[in-house]
Homo-oligomer: A and B are copies of this chain.
Amino acid sequence: MKDKPLILITNDDGVSARGIKELVACLRALGELVVVAPDGPRSGMSAAITSLIPLSCTLLQEEEGLSVYSCSGTPVDCVKLAVNELLGRKPDLLVSGINHGGNMSVCVHYSGTLGAAREGCILGIPSLGISLTDYTKGAGFNECCRLGHRLAVQLLKEGLPRGTYLNLNVPNLRQVKGTRVCRQAEGRFINEYMRSENADAEAVYWLTGSLYNALPLHPENDTSALEAGYASLVPCKIDVTDYVFMEQLQTLTEINPITT
């Protein structure tokens, strides 16, 4: 008899967040689930790793088909610790999320949710990050769960190309219009800080800001899809080499004196 698929679950909102509980509930029937998630919020941790202090890890829950660990580190630490130390074999699938807040456009670089998916991919696991593009407390996870479940089934069956992971964003709608496979929008944050003062009347800066979209080079990018009421699905690469510019750069002998 074939073993049940082993599915590693993590997130960046912490092991107690609503999104990861919804995710566990919706994937529960697909295999053996192991949750290894941060012990508190780690939003915006990107692919940060912890090297100056040691990690610790607590088994919170263990029952048929589900184990839940809380970990002192970042989302990427959770993935590394799970694969290196906690799991007996390589997972068949990694799902990170469901993040409470969108991770479209350049958020793929800041997001701990996607940092974890990227790490799973580096370690050779078909990996998917799921985000709900709504920060409000009452936001509904139903469409995230429906689409996440379908994608998980597909990934368990077909896998992904080596070096590619998936970034799924789902708008907070009763029913999305569908899923658009699309590219990462070009964007950046603007008005990023609110100045304030600490108790000693010294200036401090709170991160705030809003995502500004450059004129879309390609109309079918993730931000456009989400604004039109679709879920967006962006396949992302570990290899970030700019091959087009690499060729140009090679011809600029001034900075490429290969033999001098």
Contact = CB atoms under 8 A, between A and B. Distances in A.
Interface of A: 41, 43-52, 54-57, 74, 76-77, 80-81, 84-85, 106, 108-110, 115, 118, 122-124, 150-151, 154, 160-161, 163-164, 177-184, 186, 188-189, 191-193, 195-196, 198, 202-207, 230, 233-243, 245-246, 249-250, 252, 254-260
A241 B218 CA distance: 12
A48 B181 CA distance: 27
A204 B55 CA distance: 5
A259 B230 CA distance: 9
Contact of A56 (B49, B124, B205, B257): B205
Contacts of A239: 183-184, 186
Contacts of A230: 258
B207 A50 contact: yes
7 contacts: A55-B206, A80-B189, A85-B193, A163-B186, A177-B258, A179-B257, A237-B241
B48 A255 contact: no
B192 A154 contact: no
B49 A110 contact: yes
B51 A43 contact: yes
Contact of A195 (B85, B179, B252): B85
B178 A257 contact: yes
Instruction: Give the most central of A43, A49, A124, A259: most B CB within 10 Å.
Output: A49
B48 A46 contact: yes
Given A109-B238, A178-B259, 9 more contacts: A48-B48, A55-B206, A57-B205, A106-B238, A123-B188, A161-B242, A178-B260, A183-B241, A234-B241
A84 B193 CA distance: 7
B205 A85 contact: yes
